Structure 1
């Protein structure tokens, strides 16, 4: 994947504004980690890498009542949100700690039975190195599990403003903004995630013959789903810093207004559809 200025750059490019983390907080263990739950035992020790606001992490606690759950992120700002969420859910025993997986985690080898991440590797400049570290802290007999979005995402109707959103979001995530036609965004391996996680895992030293590979699709198509999702994207631009970040990528005001107008048009279109393909893997250790 394209490298930032530092291989250990710990700046999450979408920010931790509430307009962003509100979407992340809607994620649950039952949905995003559904492929993991059947493999859990009450005594398991779980590490959630890139836990964000902690909704999945906290959800795991219900399934390992005799074990432990730890979430790590490199932002104390988002970890405070995670701790507050855990308290609100009656799970104060869920731990949240600062950690940067590319710099090496503080935990000894074989500290956890399950090491999990969701929508984390696509934001890391060296996903293979991250997976090696996840493997190191996972105990023999346990497993590493990952769920990652694959790009490009799918919109209908694919309005000009949504094409511009994709263009500048790709620029934000991958440093790419020079496509003259945003609808022709690159589909090469450096701009994907979910369909590559099994490759990254093999390169990190996991046995490909023992991996359990799967996939899931996330869909927003009902009136209520479109309204919630569209408003969250609008809030990111107007209040959550995405607008300023897009401007730094040379988006002009006309383009930003086109993005906002077409997000609203998509929200109100009875045929509106947004879907994301997710790749999933379980890698025994």
Structure 2
């Protein structure tokens, strides 16, 4: 039982990172029905910005994470304005191909700038180990989980209580009707990209602390798993992204902890196939019939 609970704790830490990345996928999809496959690479850029802030600028954890979030927010808006806005009325396939191309551009651009080698992420906090009833929890795990909860609560407040959050919900429901009511849809979309990208930037710094290493290709696998998490919970639904992220993190850790480290990725992809077959709207989503 103790071993199971220990794996559960480890899974919550990993799931926190997936949840932060999944929120970006689900918000963008909820607003403009675009699967932004470059989102995982924005998370990678956030890790390198955090690395530079700590290693070169000598910032502590919190200022480095805030700087990474701001940089990634600006990057997300720039990508939306340059790559996605001109395709706003194009087919979804064209936008999807552009997103994949932007993903490769960010990966190879980072390789060109910093090289392809793996770098050790500087440890700016003491990773003390605490024991409770035979269970071990590291200071890094507490920091990751606590930071994730705070950011998720802040996101919920923004979406539910602010004027821009109400505009986001209106555009998500019906962009044309929102435009007729005087809402600047372009600004709402840009704000959504900024918000989602900033969360990915925070996740990049947290994963650097968690795994102690970063490299330019690090965004691919976590980005894909975060997308699966968003689909599992119900893409376009913010609580669904949180639920999906924690669920995927726990499942992956349990499979790995009980001797299945070689197949943990396959299990996650199998979950995607099962969800798409039996409940494509996600576990927290509702089936919506669309008139054509």
Higher relative contact order structure (alpha carbons within 8 Å, sequence separation ≥ 6): 2
In which range does the TM-score fall when normalised by the shorter chain? under 0.3
The TM-score with structure 2 as length reference comes to 0.26
Greater fraction helix:
2
